Amino acid sequence: HIADDHFAQLDPLGSAKALAAAIQKEKADLVLTGLQSDDHGFGQTGVLLAGLLDLPHATIIMQIEVADGKMKLKRELEAGWFQHMECPLPAVLSIQSGINKVRYATLKGIMAAKKKELVTIPRESLGVSAEPTQKIEKIYVPTKTKKTEFLTGTPKEVAAKLVEKLKFEARVI
């Protein structure tokens, strides 16, 4: 546990530097991060952390199988597509929400967890500055640009125009 009253205000690089400094002391084989935070949604911390630790990284992970010192991963891509890949250990993985079903701890598990030591490390002891390296200049809702266009001509001409628009303007086919 990295203790800092201002940790939530760090940008992704500051967070990654603090985590990397703490993780390097542990010699971890596998580091799991969330895909992105709920507040700013940068989606950068896991990637930056892997770079700072000089470890392989994969993101949007939906499934992990470990065997023979490597992992078989299932990544979620766009439009319902998935990618299956292998990744060596040690590594950093950014996990997609929904990777696992929520399980509730048993009373025995809760009692055992209470007896475990939770090491707390002050951020300052890691040599990481609290000063952000990124600055958000503007957050805004983009203006809507809805446009209706009527295609004219014979059904064959309209179909050809529609295909052109879907292919080159909307880029969906």
Q: Residue 117 is which amino acid?
A: E
Model confidence pTM above 0.85: no
Provide, rounded to the nearest whole percent, the portion of the chain with pLDDT above 90: 42
Number of CB atoms found within 10 A of residue 13's CB:
19
Q: Report yes or no on 21 lying in a domain.
A: yes
What's the pLDDT tens digit per position in 19-43?
A: 999 899 888 899 999 888 777 777 8
Question: What pLDDT does residue 44 have?
Answer: 87
Structural domain span for residue 39: 2-126
Strands 30-34 and 91-95: parallel
Q: Report yes or no on 154 lying in a domain.
A: no
Number of domains the chain is built from: 1
To the nearest whole number, what is the mean pLDDT of the chain? 87
Evaluate the CA torsion angle 83, 84, 88, 94 in order and state its sign. positive
Q: Return the CATH number at 48.
A: 3.40.50.620
Q: Report yes or no on 159 lying in a domain.
A: no
What's the pLDDT tens digit per position in 62-86?
A: 999 998 888 999 999 888 899 999 9
DSSP-assigned beta bridge partners for residue 84: 74
As a whole number, mean pLDDT of residues 109-134 equals 84
Quick one: tokens of 41? 């949604």
Q: Report yes or no on 172 lying in a domain.
A: no
